[in-house]
Structure 1
Amino acid sequence: MPSLEHTCGCGGSRELSAPRLRGDTAERAGLDPGELRHLVQEVADLTTGEHPWAAGTVVVAGRGPVIAVEEAAGWAVRYARYDPETDAGVELPEQERVPMTVGTPFDLASLTKLFTSVAAVQQIERGTLGIDARVGAYLPEFRAATRHGITVRELLTHTSGLRPELPLYDCADDAERRAVLQAEAPIGVPGTYTYSDLNMLLLQYVLERVTGRTLDVLVHDGITRPLGMTSTDFGPCPGAAATEDQRRPWAKADRGMLRGVVHDENAWALGGVAGHAGLFSTARDLAVFCRTLLAGGSYGTARILGPDFVELLLTPPGLGFAVDQPWFMGELAGRGAAGHTGFTGTSLVLDPATDTFLVLLANTVHPVRRHPDSGPRAAAATRLAQAVRRVGPVPGTERIPR
């Protein structure tokens, strides 16, 4: 492999390039084609029936640098509105619906947290952010976090004790929202896991204070631009898959049918750029993100993290990433698989043990939010696990030496 020197988005350098993704056969990826056919059909079936799991889906799966599955099914826009009287969506005439394509962008919801986490670890790698530093060292005006000694690591591992969320969407303006966050104290025991959007919101403020740049700029300059993820950005995103007919009482705001603007009410109230939600992306771009982490932080001639810091990011319990969670990873869980889900129906899993990745994007909240069901995500991941045909690296995917 030729020797290259490249200055990456996070300020480091790399002497070797990492293979880029390419489409190819299941056999070339070291995956069983029969299992992948079942995977594609089962994901497509999720969009059918009177009450489908999702209006539409996109699935991308592969191993090493090979994308072996890239398929879309159903509709990016299917419903005009939700009818609470019948508890069903009011369908658009077929000629007014928008078919799902493999290039359809999605509201990523909580997958945004992964990008915030990578941005944080980039600053840790640079030495501008201490993983065990106290939030108060960077944000002394956040009085409650300062008083309780909340650390950066606790934010990244959801062990700060902060409650899951606050109704920031009901605040009058940004000043009031910031004041509420500054006064918010932990309600749980520090060190005990409690998943919280507030962790990533505080982390956003820390990153912006440390770098002097806004989160959207940090994500663009440090992650998406160097990786060529041209379809990934904070909204608005007019061509995205539709999400919810967002109205009270089932939602927290009265906004109507949403398409191309962030679904999460707090992220919307914060202007669409938030540490916990707000990004839009495509399945192909997310496959690049997965491949980069599986390759130790490099993609092509770009490097966004060094291998040691990718390891830090993905080592249990994970920094921002969930690790070995069968409820959405199925049989990929158990040996260090990492990933996340998003409330709108998005998910990704990357498995270093088998060098595989799975991106499943769906607009499950179109036309209305329902009780989350991650069974289909776990089933798809299990299909991919069963499709792994051989142990060890697929030819051409050897990891770059540290």
Structure 2
Amino acid sequence: MPQINPERWHAVEKLIDHFCNTNQVPAIALQVNVKETSRLYSRGRQRLNDNGDTLREDAIFLIASITKPIVVLGVLKLLEEGELLLGDRVKQFIPEFGCAGKHGITIRHLMTHTSGLPDMLPNNRELRSANAPLSEFVKQICQLSPDEPPGRIVQYQSTGIAILSEVIQRITGLSCAEYLNQVLFQPMGMKDTSLGVPEEWYEGDQPKVERIVEIRIPDELDIEPDWDWNSPYWRGFGAPWGGLLTTISDLGKLVEMLKNRGVFQQKRLFSHRTILKATKDQLATISGLSATEKEGKGWGLGWQMVSNTKSDYYGDLLSTSTYGHGGATGTLLWIDPELETSAIILTTQPQEPHGRFLARITNAIVSAIEG
């Protein structure tokens, strides 16, 4: 039976201490679950200019692209309810999307990053600088031409996740944020989780917004404070591709549900088959992909297949059945079914493109597990 070796776990804590004490990473919060055993550890600063360890136990992190598979889960809830099929063309739900070579793009293409759409809009920076609303992003994505026809390439695409959020709104009449809160966050008691900061987080004597941890902005991005990750605009924007705010404990509830194949605290939220399909490589189902195009890549429905990916975020020691997702703000979630282990690593140090801090922490975690 897998279990945590106490002495080796101490090495995980020492590594985190080293990263924070040397200011390589301003703050780190960690949750590791091995079967029924859970370990929590956190170090660092709530604000970049703080002195000492000021990171709150209830700190709220912007988890960036870990948002993507959570939005996909919302769409999969609609699939379970018979509202759509993976093979449905997106234009069935968003008619104005079906132009400029996007007629054949399906829900499956968007979930597996095989739509051919670019990651971001060409004028992404200008839109953010102008504090444009999400609706403007969606409008312009609908006018885009894909880089390749759907099903020909595997190309990471935030734009596709934005369109999935619009599919949710067209079907339910609710914003993506409202829908996820209704079908995911509330049922699992994720009270400190939201896609974008809601108005009520600013209310009261101790507003919840004060619990959001400040991110260290890389020099190349530290030129537009009105729209960086710490800005009120971006926190409130609620980007479906990267705007979820949550705590380590709330995200742990989502991981519990995934590990239990759709069950959370004896309540079934998703069918076993839905979670199984979402967390297994789906690229083989995309008939137009060549073997060369699939090489070094692996996508379930929203989730990245660690064994097939060239991403450095996941380190070197995870099992071939592992799935997860990383975020550009320095965050990572992975679940290793073979090792019966999961980890959530939330930091405030952006680590694109290599994620070396995350990978080194992951290697230390896996090395601490025996049996």
TM-score bracket relative to the smaller structure: 0.7 to 0.9
Q: Which amino acid aligns with 1:179?
A: K
Match of 1:305 in 2: 270
Match of 1:210 in 2: 171
Match of 2:150 in 1: 190
Structure 1 residue 229: Cα displacement: 1.3
TM-score with structure 2 setting the length: 0.82
- 1:222 lines up with 2:183 in the alignment: yes
- 1:315 lines up with 2:287 in the alignment: no
Match of 2:160 in 1: 199
Instruction: State how far apart, in whole Å, the 2-side matches of 1:60 and 1:214 are.
Output: 30
Instruction: State how far apart, in whole Å, the 1-side matches of 2:147 and 2:92 are.
Output: 21
**CA displacement 1:268-324 (0-9 Å, x = unmatched):** 6xx522320211111111122111101111111332211110001100121111111
**CA displacement 1:201-228 (0-9 Å, x = unmatched):** 0111111112221111111111111111
- 1:112 lines up with 2:67 in the alignment: yes
- Is the CA contact 1:323–1:339 (under 8 Å) kept in the aligned structure 2? yes
Match of 2:58 in 1: 103
Q: CA RMSD in A?
A: 2.5
Instruction: State how far apart, in whole Å, the 1-side matches of 2:194 and 2:138 are.
Output: 24
- 1:333 lines up with 2:318 in the alignment: yes
**1:368-383 matches, cutoff 5 A:** 371-383=352-364
Measured at CA, do residues 114 and 252 of structure 1 come closer, stay the same or move farther in structure 2, by a change above 3 Å? farther
- 1:54 lines up with 2:25 in the alignment: yes
Q: 2:112 aligns with which of 157, 173, 176?
A: 157
- Is the CA contact 1:71–1:102 (under 8 Å) kept in the aligned structure 2? no
Match of 2:255 in 1: 290
- Is the CA contact 2:331–2:358 (under 8 Å) kept in the aligned structure 1? no
Q: Give the number of aligned pairs.
A: 334
Instruction: State how far apart, in whole Å, the 2-side matches of 1:338 and 1:262 are.
Output: 31
Match of 1:87 in 2: none
Task: Give the secondary structure class of the aligned counterpart of 2:145.
Answer: coil
- Is the CA contact 2:330–2:358 (under 8 Å) kept in the aligned structure 1? no
Instruction: State how far apart, in whole Å, the 1-side matches of 2:155 and 2:217 are.
Output: 29
Q: Which amino acid aligns with 1:204?
A: S
- Is the CA contact 2:30–2:41 (under 8 Å) kept in the aligned structure 1? yes
Going by fraction, where is strand more abundant, 1 or 2? 1
**CA displacement 1:241-275 (0-9 Å, x = unmatched):** 0024599x735734288647475xxxx6xx52232
TM-score with structure 1 setting the length: 0.76
Task: Give the secondary structure class of the aligned counterpart of 1:73.
Answer: strand
Structure 1 residue 355: Cα displacement: 1.7
- 1:77 lines up with 2:50 in the alignment: no
Task: Give the secondary structure class of the aligned counterpart of 1:104.
Answer: coil
- Is the CA contact 2:91–2:103 (under 8 Å) kept in the aligned structure 1? no
Instruction: State how far apart, in whole Å, the 2-side matches of 1:340 and 1:382 are.
Output: 16
Q: 2:195 aligns with which of 207, 225, 234?
A: 234
Instruction: State how far apart, in whole Å, the 1-side matches of 2:137 and 2:48 are.
Output: 35
- Is the CA contact 2:89–2:103 (under 8 Å) kept in the aligned structure 1? no
- Is the CA contact 1:156–1:320 (under 8 Å) kept in the aligned structure 2? yes
Which segments of structure 1 move beyond 6 Å, counting only runs of 4 or more? none
Q: Which amino acid aligns with 1:281?
A: T
Instruction: State how far apart, in whole Å, the 2-side matches of 1:145 and 1:115 are.
Output: 28
The unaligned stretches of length 5 or more in structure 2 are 198-208, 282-298
Match of 2:346 in 1: 361
**CA displacement 1:40-77 (0-9 Å, x = unmatched):** 2112211122xx3311111111112321x211111121
Measured at CA, do residues 328 and 336 of structure 1 come closer, stay the same or move farther in structure 2, by a change above 3 Å? same
Instruction: State how far apart, in whole Å, the 1-side matches of 2:165 and 2:101 are.
Output: 16
Q: Which amino acid aligns with 2:224?
A: A
Larger radius of gyration: 1
The unaligned stretches of length 5 or more in structure 1 are 1-27, 80-91, 391-402
